[in-house]
Chain A
Amino acid sequence: MSDKDHGHSHKAAPMVEEVSDFEILEIAVRELAIEKGLFSAEDHRSWTEYIHTLGPLPAARLVAKAWLDEDYKKLCIEDGVEASKAVGVDWIEGMPTKFGTPSDYCNLRVLADTPKLKHVVVCTLCSCYPRPILGQSPEWYRTPNYRRRLVRWPRSVLSEFGLQLDDDVEVRVADSNQKTRYIVMPTRPEGTEGWTEDQLAEIVTRDCLIGVAVPKPGVTSNATRPVRKALKPVPHDH
């Protein structure tokens, strides 16, 4: 041992400390597919870029239109894929692959709430989410905590999101683990009489479309939410 080796290595620390098995698997399969010529690295990059341009605005527009047009609402409930075209989302031709992707099949169902029925969506299998019309799912939607608890204790989980429902409201959890993707069409809130489609679309936020919130006049995705301070805050060191 020379003087320079004083008990630790001078190699640079890795930039990423931990890569999960699934990340390694994804990279391996992707690189094999590229080597085999199924798609190119450029295809993969441009699809990824495309996917990240998507967001929940078309679905908010769909709900707002349905609130104003009873016939369109019926179409939404009957054929979500067809109804999506009116808000600029083509589940089949619009995707870069032209057939959807294995994680986004072309079968959308719009779950219409009533004053006595509240839908909320989860995928206990993994993270099925209507990406063509909602964009990428929020991080919490993919956590095991949300997925395993929502099916079993939906009211507790909803109250953690700040949504308290009356006892006589039927809470219906939609577990999307096959080829159907769901969005929730909440009921139109009071205080929105005479509103335009643009105004209505603004209050239908992403969480309303997943079902963990309900639309309220004045609460848009841009609005600042009130933060209630913890009564007994837990100190932490980061």
Chain B
Amino acid sequence: MSKPNYDRTHHAKMATGIGDPQCFAGKAGEPKFKVGDRVRVKDLPDLFYTRTMVYTRGAEATVVRLVYESPPAENEAWDNTDDVEWFYSIVFKQSDLWPEYNNTYEADTLETEVSERWLEKA
């Protein structure tokens, strides 16, 4: 069995002069969700690495922006850039995240980004 030859600078070669996440543009295909859609954050297993915060799991939110295409952090952490996904900026009502959130401030919200694999239609 031959020794695999890893190119440790392939990310630099891909992104130089273009930028990251710009270098993944056009690779994710059709986005599954659009601005205004109600979504729920899935509670997927997160062994080793994730950027999807536990406090968002299971909560419903509204898509406010399709931000960019990129490999999900769970893959990119291991240098796997094969599966590029759409990333969405989603807005939660604070009272949907924290049960004890003071209802005087019913309008307060939180915005964050997740990749498509973490979202399902609410």
Interface residues on chain B, number (Cβ under 8 Å): 39
Q: Given known contacts A167-B104, A173-B110, is B15 in contact with A99 (CB within 8 Å)? A: yes
Complex CA distance for A172 and B64, rounded to whole angstroms: 13
Q: Is A170 touching B109 in the complex (CB atoms < 8 A)?
A: yes
What is the interface of chain B mostly: helix, strand, loop, or mixed? mixed
CA A109 – CA B20 in complex, angstroms? Answer: 14
A100-B105 CB under 8 A given contacts A124-B53, A172-B91, A178-B51: no
For residue A232, CB closer than 8 A to chain B, the reply is no
- Is B33 close to A, CB under 8 A? no
Task: Return A195 CB to nearest CB of chain B, in Å.
Answer: 30
User: A-B pairs with CB below 8 Å: how many?
Assistant: 108
How far is B21's CA from A177's CA once the two chains are assembled, in angstroms?
14
Whether the Cβ atoms of B112 and A155 lie closer than 8 Å is no
A178 CB to closest chain B CB, in angstroms?
4
Cβ of B3 under 8 Å from chain A: no
| Those 4 A-B pairs whose CB atoms lie nearest each other, nearest first | A106-B19, A99-B15, A175-B112, A178-B113
Q: Please name 7 further chain A to chain B contacts, defined as beta carbons within 8 Å, in addition to the given A99-B20, A172-B109, A180-B113, sorted by A numbering.
A: A93-B17, A99-B15, A100-B15, A107-B22, A125-B51, A152-B101, A167-B105
